[in-house]
């Protein structure tokens, strides 16, 4: 029952602010039935979940390297890195380091977590942490209070297409590689779509 163990997903090292499955995390206004409808829209399937879980070890080993590559893309674009700036107009390295640990854990979670109520609630929490509702709150930081929605979505190809080079190291067949890329692309889109909830005007999400 390897999967069941994974799904419970207790991580050995506690990450500050990683409130997955805790009452301190937000509650998603989306019902599980509505989540299934959204998954169907995305084309997310049990096969996709299996493909990602199958590569759990790979994601665990490379999650930090992936995040570093995405952070490099952010760091090279002033309009992206500015959302890490504190009141002194400089990048808040302490905040960035705290967020990074959760970002790395997110990669692992994408590969192993079941899409249950705890997972759904934590996506709402992550979304809120990109908006004035909760950005900075978790880490007691004073960076600019939002990441604009257009950058949240605009960054997706870096995290999907840009991650192909990591997947290539797995030495998969073309068909298996495609399945992994597609599963990852659908998963990332599903997550970011859930994160967009607090950005939307009432009734439009």
* Between 91 and 146, CB nearer to its own copies: 146
CB count, 10 Å around CB of 48? Answer: 21
Among 72, 97, 170, 200, which residue interacts with its own copies (rule: CB under 8 A)?
200
Please, which residues have CB within 8 angstroms of residue 154's CB and are 6 or more apart in sequence?
A: none
Report the site for its own copies in 85-144 (rule: CB under 8 A).
131-132
- For residues 41 and 189, the answer to whether their CB atoms sit within 8 Å is no
List the one residue from 6, 81, 149, 172 that touches its own copies (CB under 8 A).
149
25, 26, 80, 110: residue in contact with its own copies (rule CB under 8 A) = 80
Q: Does 182 bind its own copies (CB under 8 A)?
A: yes
Strand partners, 91: 85
Taking contact as CB under 8 A, which single stretch among the options 14-22, 63-71, 74-82, 117-125 is the one that binds its own copies? 74-82
CB 104 within 8 A of CB 64: yes
Give the DSSP letter of residue 199: G
Among 70, 83, 85, 153, contact with its own copies (rule: CB under 8 A)? 153
Max CA distance (Å), the chain = 51
158 contacts its own copies (rule: CB under 8 A): yes
- Provide the sign of the torsion angle of the four alpha carbons 49, 108, 72, 76, taken in this order: positive
The whole-angstrom separation of Cα 54 and Cα 120 is 22
R_g (Cα) of the chain, nearest Å: 17
From 12-20, 77-85, 100-108, 109-117, span contacting its own copies (CB under 8 A): 77-85
Residue 89 phi, psi (nearest 5): 75, 15
User: Interaction with its own copies in 19-48: which residues (CB under 8 A)?
Assistant: 34, 37-38, 40-43
Please report whether residue 82 would count as binding its own copies according to CB under 8 A: no
CB of 13 to its own copies, least distance (A): 32
- Integer angstrom CA distances of residue 80 from 74, 116, 183: 5, 32, 26
Binding site for its own copies (CB under 8 A): 34, 37-38, 40-43, 77, 79-80, 131-132, 146, 148-151, 153-158, 160-162, 174, 182, 185-186, 189-190, 192-194, 196-197, 199-201, 203-205
């Amino acid at each position: 029952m390897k999967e069941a163990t994974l799904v419970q997903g207790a991580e050995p090292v506690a990450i500050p602010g990683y409130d997955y499955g805790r009452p301190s995390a937000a509650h998603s206004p989306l019902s599980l039935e509505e989540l299934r409808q959204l998954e169907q829209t995305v084309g997310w399937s049990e096969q996709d979940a299996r493909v990602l879980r199958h590569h759990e070890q790979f994601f665990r080993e490379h999650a930090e390297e992936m995040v570093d590559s995405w952070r490099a893309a952010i760091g090279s674009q002033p309009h992206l890195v500015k959302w890490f700036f504190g009141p002194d107009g400089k990048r808040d390295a302490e905040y960035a380091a705290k967020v990074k640990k959760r970002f790395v854990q997110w990669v692992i979670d994408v590969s192993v977590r079941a899409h249950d109520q705890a997972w759904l609630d934590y996506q709402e929490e992550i979304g809120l942490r990109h908006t004035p509702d909760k950005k900075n709150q978790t880490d007691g930081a004073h960076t600019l209070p939002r990441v604009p929605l257009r950058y949240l979505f605009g960054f997706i190809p870096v995290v999907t297409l840009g991650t192909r080079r990591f997947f290539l190291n797995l030495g998969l067949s073309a068909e298996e590689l495609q399945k992994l890329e597609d599963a990852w692309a659908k998963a990332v889109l599903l997550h970011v779509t859930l994160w967009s909830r607090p950005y939307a005007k009432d009734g439009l999400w």
